[in-house]
């Protein structure tokens, strides 16, 4: 009986610790110093020209509290690596062709649109114009095409966590990104594993993956074409709260792919800034940045996956 009581107390304490770790927190000098300290000292590929990155960080739907933390983290990676110049954007004008030409890659930082339409460009236009509904839909479709053309002509695209929903109901956009968001169970601890531990983009994890608390994303649309090179996965049978019969016993939560002459990198990790305490995750992001701008050449051909 005593052993059972002690075990119950330990489990409750563990659960409380997990919950505490999930609490949003403000960016402090102490946190910035920590990220500065554990961030990679140098890029994997050295002696490269400095690349310009647009980090689009405007959400019109669910506002992830990690957005400003990602901005700060990316600035630190850029400064320490000396490989990038970061520009933070919030306005739809950033997706005009003349603006996009200024950048070597675009990073969509949890720029979630509102539901059920889940059309970021339409949302941004509604907030900033007095156009008619039909005109907004036409202009939004043009902005979507602008971004897709930019990538197809050689631009890089990095998508962080919830930004996979940017144009969530667009089949063509889904084909570019590798998939669309379906749903996620509750936040929970999960062990993220490498698909191929020898792939250069996951070398940071040294074959061990990493464990953190996050939202386990499930995907739909183009995702099931598996027209990407998967990098990280989680096991479905280890998850709580799965709502429907899954298509597979694993979920790929990060991948890369070619789109025309451009390169796309998606990382579902992470929903919480606490995950940045993993130095290997910071290295993973830096390697992903070097991939999308074309400095880090890796095998990005679709892997043959048993469906």
**What are the tens digits of pLDDT across the range 123-148?**
999 998 889 999 999 999 999 999 99
- Print the SS3 string covering 256-290: EEEECCEEEEEECCCCCHHHHHCHHHHHHHHHHHH
Looking at residue 287, its pLDDT comes to: 98
Q: CB-hemisphere CA count at 13 Å for 240?
A: 7
Looking at residue 9, its pLDDT comes to: 38
Higher per-residue confidence, 14 vs 134: 134
13 pLDDT band (50/70/90 cuts)? very low
User: In the predicted model, what is the mean pLDDT of residues 180-200?
Assistant: 97
Yes or no: say if 164 and 266 are a contact pair by the CB < 8 Å rule. yes
- pLDDT of 98 > 80? The answer is yes
CA distance 91 to 100: 12
Supply 224's token pair. 């099931």
Q: 3-17, 57-71, 82-96, 133-147 — which is least confidently predicted?
A: 3-17
Within 8 A by CB and 6+ apart from 289, the residues are 53, 77, 83, 84, 105, 107, 158, 265
- pLDDT of 59 > 90? The answer is yes
Contacts 24+ apart (CB under 8 A), 29-37: 31/69, 31/273, 32/72, 32/76, 34/277, 35/72, 35/73, 35/76, 35/276, 35/282, 36/76, 36/80
Q: Which domains does the chain have, with CATH numbers?
A: 37-292 (3.40.50.880)
| Closest alpha carbon to 201 in 158, 143, 239 | 158
Q: For 105-234, where are the alpha helices, taking DSSP H only?
A: 120-128, 133-152, 171-177
306 pLDDT band (50/70/90 cuts)? low
CA distance 106 to 289: 10
3-state secondary structure of 71: helix
The model's pLDDT over 252-305, given as tens digits with 9 standing for 90+, comes to 999 999 999 999 999 999 899 999 999 999 999 999 999 999 999 999 999 866
Q: Name the helix (H) or strand (E) containing 11.
A: helix 2-21
Yes or no: say if 157 and 263 are a contact pair by the CB < 8 Å rule. yes
């Amino acid at each position: 009986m005593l052993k059972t009581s002690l075990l119950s107390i330990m489990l409750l304490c563990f659960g409380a610790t997990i919950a505490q770790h999930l609490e949003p927190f403000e960016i402090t000098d102490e946190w910035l110093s920590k990220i500065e300290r554990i961030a990679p000292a140098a890029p994997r590929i050295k002696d490269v020209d400095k690349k310009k990155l647009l980090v689009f960080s405007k959400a019109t739907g669910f506002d992830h509290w990690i957005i400003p933390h990602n901005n700060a983290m990316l600035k630190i990676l850029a400064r320490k690596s000396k490989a990038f110049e970061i520009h933070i954007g919030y306005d739809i004008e950033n997706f005009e062709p003349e603006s996009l030409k200024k950048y070597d890659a675009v990073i969509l930082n949890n720029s979630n649109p509102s539901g059920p339409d889940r059309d970021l460009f339409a949302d941004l236009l509604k907030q900033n114009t007095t156009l008619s509904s039909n005109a907004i839909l036409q202009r939004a479709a043009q902005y979507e095409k602008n971004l897709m053309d930019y990538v197809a002509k050689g631009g890089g695209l990095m998508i962080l966590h919830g930004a996979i929903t940017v144009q969530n109901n667009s089949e063509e956009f889904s084909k570019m990104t590798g998939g669309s968001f379906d749903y996620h169970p509750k936040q929970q601890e999960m062990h993220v594993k490498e698909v191929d531990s020898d792939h250069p983009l996951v070398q940071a994890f040294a074959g061990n993956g990493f464990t953190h608390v996050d939202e386990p994303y499930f995907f739909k649309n183009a995702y099931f074409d598996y027209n990407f090179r998967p990098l990280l996965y989680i096991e479905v049978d280890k998850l709580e709260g799965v709502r429907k019969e899954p298509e597979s016993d694993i979920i790929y939560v990060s991948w890369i792919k070619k789109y025309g002459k451009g390169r796309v990198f998606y990382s579902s990790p992470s929903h919480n800034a606490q995950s940045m305490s993993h130095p290997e995750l910071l290295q993973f992001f830096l390697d992903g940045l070097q991939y999308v701008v074309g400095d880090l050449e890796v095998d990005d051909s679709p892997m043959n996956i048993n469906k």
